[in-house]
Amino acid sequence: MREMKNSGIEWIGEIPLGWEISPLKYNYTIIAGATPNSTCQEYWDGNITWITPADYKTPDVYVCDSSRKITKRGLVSCSTSILPVGSIVFSKRAPIGSVAITRRELCTNQGCIGLVAKNRLVNNKYFYYVLSIYPEVFDLYGSGTTFKEISATTFASIQFPFPHVSIQDRIATFLDSKCSEIDAISADIRKEIETLEQYKRSVITEAVTKGLNPDAEMKDSGVAWCPQIPSHWQYTNPKGLFGLRTDRAFQNDRQLTASQEYGIVYQDEYMEKTGNKVVTVTKDFSILKHVEPDDFVISMRSFQGGLEYSDKRGCISSAYVMLIPNKEFVYAPFYRWFFKSSKYINALQSTSNLVRDGQAMRYANFVKVPLFIIPIEEQKAIASYLDEKIGKVNSILAAKKSQLEILSNYKKSLIYEYVTGKKEVPLWKSNT
């Protein structure tokens, strides 16, 4: 058992005797990024890879390509610089903490920090592992109101463990082997999750557009988004099935949040589930809209499948649109599934070329997509079937996602134990 000492840094804890703690800037040159003038066409669509944090928000260790590229003129027009192969890139915002190693020469935007080793005393792969496990810590160093950002100066001053480079080499080699095993298992689970998600989407779409009877006689619907429907269904104008609720919030209404993951939930419950903060209205309740149970909320992400069912009474942002179901023709739990159909979502998205993420979908968009008059009892049967069928699939998905989380936490713990020296790499591993 190695003798340990206090590092003096709370989030590092104890390190072995002989290991050093030093600021990042002692061993790395910090390279800032920048963006050429977006209105100058001659700066863009060149052959120089220009990455943003969005280009490496993946489990991949390496980054070698970008969604946009710049020209040589674009490069010299701003303060970004070419990083050599093998450099580390670190996202300083949106979010803080994404990290990768460059596999080609490239430059970055101002959302990234480039790290170039000053000497041969550091192994970039080792330091990649160090940076990969501390996003929560780096977030504490960030500042800003709209979104947090860590400055290059602040980042350069943060202290990290720097053992002898030979030890760094051994740790990096060992972790490469161990993490690749974990990543392979995780990749298999993610494939299984995607297969299950595809299956779920197909089951929902099949049931809500064709019914449960595989032998049912079909007919041309006259509706482009769903050309074949059971012969006893009829298409109709959505206005006949869903009206528009315009009621302002009541003083005692509890505030709600629209979420694709959780549906319509109370704000406090949403914040507890996600850890995310949402804006709560404390004075002028007139800017909020009232919601009743069985209402549907057209959220800003409705064109992505975010048309959500509410089983709660409360109020919500006036940016959203509330639909009141006509209960003579609508069994709300059925439409909870219907509005998640891939075919319907695609049809809703096609109602406007102007709809983009962050913009509101309006009632005028909703009524452009024809719906169907389906017998209430049949709606109930389909809803019951999907509740049971998709419930089972969701249980399997939850188990798979739990496995991923366990693997992720294990990987992070494994890296932490070795990059801080709390565990020592077996000597025999260094020769493999």
- In this prediction, residue 323 carries a pLDDT of 94
Nearby residues of 206 by Cβ (< 8 Å), 6 or more positions away: none
Q: Which residue has the tokens 């629209």?
A: 258
Q: DSSP code of 16? A: E
- Written as six digits, the tokens of 41 are 């066409």
Give the H or E element holding residue 243.
strand 242-245
Question: pLDDT tens digit string along 360-409?
Answer: 668 888 899 999 999 999 999 999 999 999 999 999 999 999 999 999 99
Percent of the chain with pLDDT over 90: 69
- Going along the chain from its start, the domains and CATH numbers come out as 4-163 (3.90.220.20), 164-211+376-432 (1.10.287), 234-373 (3.90.220.20)
- Furthest-apart CA atoms within the chain: distance in Å: 80
**CA angle, 366 then 362 then 265, to 5°:** 90
What residues of the chain score a pLDDT lower than 70?
1, 145-146, 282, 300-306, 352-361, 428-432
Q: DSSP code of 96? A: E
- In this prediction, residue 359 carries a pLDDT of 53
- In this prediction, residue 431 carries a pLDDT of 45
SS3 43: helix
